[in-house]
Chains A and B, each alone.
Chain A
C-alpha cells in the first residue's frame, strides 16, 4: 500500500512546524493502520471501539492544547487541527470522540474549573482512562440552549439536578459528564460522574449517521452531586459557547479530512473505471468535478490554517470560527455527495468510504451549531441585527 500523503496543492506543509508535521504523521499512520481497516465493521455493529479511545490517550492527543501541568501536551491549535483532520479522514465518529473529550469536556474543566478539579480530572481524561461528555442540547432546546429546562438547586452540601439532555456524544460510555443547567435562572456548568445517584445515560439507537459514535440521553432525576462539582469560574452561555468555539474550530479541520478521503477515492475510482472505452476521469465533466473538489479543499485548508494561527496568537473572533465550520463542513458534504455520484453504483457500497462520510457529515452539518445558525451569527456580525428570533 502506498503511504497516504494527503492533498496539499498549495504546499500547506511548508507552513507547518516540524512538531506539527510529526503529530500529524503519527495520527495519520495510526488511522491508516488501525482505523480504516476496521471502521466499516464498527459502523455495521454501531459501536465505538474502546481501544481507539485508549490509543488516542496513549498518543496524547486528548486535550492536547491544555497545559502540561495537567498531563496534557500544551501543543498548538494548529497541531490539534491537524489531528482532527487525520481522525476525520478515518471517520467523523472518531473525530467526534476526540472533540468531545478534548474541547467539550476537558476544556471547560481547564478553563473554568478549580485547581482541585483540574488536578483530579484532567490527567485521567488526557490518558483516556476517563471518558467525558458534554450535555447542553435538550429534547426541546437545540439551537437555542439559552432556554434550557434542566435545573440545579442547592440542598445543604449538595446540588440536586433535574431534567434531561439529548443527542449527547459519548454519554453512555462517559465517566464524567459536563452538564449545563440553570441555577437560580443562570446557566452553570456541573461535573456529574457516572455513578452519581439519580443519573442515567441510555443510548440512542437507529442512527443512519455517525454509527461508530455513541449518542445518548442524559437523565437527571433528583441527581445529587456535592457542591464542589460546580465549575466555579463561569456563568451564562459563555461557558458552553467557549467550549463550542474550540470544538467547532476542530471540526473546520476535521471536515477537510473527510473531503480528502472522498476526493482521493473519487480520483482513484475515475482513473480506473472505463466507460465508453476510456477512463471516466478522461471526460471533461468528471475532470470539472475533480477540479472543483481540489479547489474547495485547498480553500478550506487555507482557511483552517489561518484560523489556527489566529487561535494560537489569540487574535480570533468567534464569527471567524463560525465561517470556517460552516464553509468547510458544507464543502466536505458537497464533495462527499459528488464523489458518491462519480462512483456510480459502487458509490453506495461500504467498500468505499464515501457514503459513510456523506452520512456522517449530515450530523456534522447539524451539530456544534447548524449551518444556518452560523449564517445567522455572521448575519448579525455584518448587520448588527440579530435574526435568531423576533416577536410574532
Chain B
C-alpha cells in the first residue's frame, strides 16, 4: 500500500490586500490560508489512499504558525502531519525549500508526492519539479486529471494541442492544477481529531542561500478611471476607447 505525501503551504488569503511598508511586504494583518492548489493536491492524496489504501502524510515547511495548515489537512483526514523547520532558519529560497522538503519526503519513505502546481504567494511553480529532480523521481506537472492503476498512476496534463494522458510509474512527484476534483471539506469530527493531533517537527540539512532579496515594491497603481456624464459625451467616450484604450 502506497506511502503518500502531500506538500501544503501557508499563504496569504488570495483576497488579502498586500501592503508594502518600507521596502518589505508587510503581512502582519493578512488572513492566512492553505494555498488553493494545495487543496487539490490534498484531495488527490486522499483519493489515492481511498483507491489503494496506505498512509497520507501532510508536510509543510515553516515556523510554528504554519501548524494551522497541517491542522486543516488533518481535519480533512490525513494520517500524519509534519512540519520541517529549524529555528535558525528565516526565509528560505527555492533551492533551500526543495532540499528541506526532499529530506522530509525521504525521511518518511514516501513513494508518491502530491503538491499544488504553484503557491498562491510566489507563484513560482518550482517546488514539485525541484523536489522530483532532487529525488531523481518521475515528475508530472499541472495535472488536470488523475487515475490510479496497479502499476502506478495515469495523469492528464495540458499538452501543446489538447491534453495528454500519461502513465507514470512510482515513485513520482505530481503537481496539481485545479478543477479535476472537488476538494473535500472538513467536518466537526475531523476538527476534533486535528485538535488532538501532534505536529511532528523535522529538521533538515540545507545549503547556504545564494539569494539576497534587495527590496519589495508594490505593483504600479492603476491610473484612476474617467467618468463621462450624459449623451453629449458619447463621441468623447468613443474617441477615448478608440485612440487611448485601443479597444475598438
Interface residues of A (CB under 8 A from B): 2-3, 5, 17-19, 22-23, 26, 29-30, 58-61, 64, 68, 73-75, 79
Contact = CB atoms under 8 A, between A and B. Distances in A.
A22 B191 CA distance: 7
A17 B191 CA distance: 12
B185 A22 contact: no
A22 B71 contact: yes
B188 A23 contact: yes
A60 B188 contact: yes
B189 interface: yes
Given A3-B31, A5-B31, A19-B195, A26 B15 contact: no
A96 to B, nearest CB: 20
Nearest to B186: A26
Nearest to A62: B188
B187 A3 contact: no
A259 to B, nearest CB: 22
B195 A26 contact: no
A58 B186 CA distance: 9
Contact of A73 (B68, B185, B189): B189
A75 B185 contact: no
A74 B189 CA distance: 9
B interface, how many residues as a size bin?
Answer: 10 to 19
A2 B31 CA distance: 12
Contacts of A79: 188
A22 B73 CA distance: 12
Nearest to B196: A19
Contact of A75 (B13, B15, B192): B192
Interface in B16-63: 31
Contacts of B15: 2-3
Contacts of A30: 185
Nearest to B75: A22
A64 B192 CA distance: 11
B225 to A, nearest CB: 15
A30 B72 CA distance: 16
Given A3-B31, A5-B31, A59 B188 contact: yes
Given A22-B71, A22-B75, A59 B187 contact: yes
Contacts of B155: none
A18 B13 contact: no
Dominant SS among interface residues on chain B: helix
A19 B187 CA distance: 11
Contacts of B13: 3
A73 B31 contact: no
Interface string B178-196: 0000000111110110110
A29 B68 contact: no
Nearest to A17: B195
Contacts of A19: 191-192, 194-195
19 contacts: A3-B15, A17-B195, A22-B71, A22-B72, A22-B194, A23-B191, A26-B186, A26-B187, A26-B191, A29-B185, A59-B185, A59-B187, A59-B188, A60-B188, A73-B188, A73-B191, A74-B192, A75-B188, A79-B188
Given A2-B15, A3-B31, A5-B31, A64 B71 contact: no
A58 B71 CA distance: 19
B43 to A, nearest CB: 15
Nearest to A27: B188
Contact of B195 (A18, A29, A68): A18
Contacts of A23: 188, 191
A143 B185 CA distance: 41
A75 B186 CA distance: 15
Contacts of B192: 19, 68, 73-75
A74 B186 CA distance: 16
A17 B186 CA distance: 17
Nearest to A71: B189
A110 B73 CA distance: 31
Shortest 10 CB-CB contacts between residues of A and residues of B: A60-B188, A73-B188, A19-B195, A60-B187, A22-B191, A59-B187, A2-B15, A3-B15, A19-B191, A60-B189
Nearest to B189: A60
Given A3-B15, A26-B191, A18 B68 contact: yes
B71 to A, nearest CB: 6
Contacts of B194: 19, 22
Nearest to B67: A18
A36 B195 CA distance: 29
Nearest to A64: B188
A30 B194 CA distance: 19
A5 B17 CA distance: 13
A26 B184 CA distance: 11
Given A23-B191, A75-B192, 6 more contacts: A2-B15, A22-B71, A22-B186, A26-B188, A58-B187, A68-B192
A58 B189 CA distance: 10
Nearest to A79: B188
Interface in B192-246: 192, 194-195
A22 B190 CA distance: 10
Nearest to A19: B195
A79 B195 CA distance: 13
Contacts of B186: 22, 26
Interface centre among B15, B186, B189, B194 (most CB of A within 10 A): B189
B14 to A, nearest CB: 9
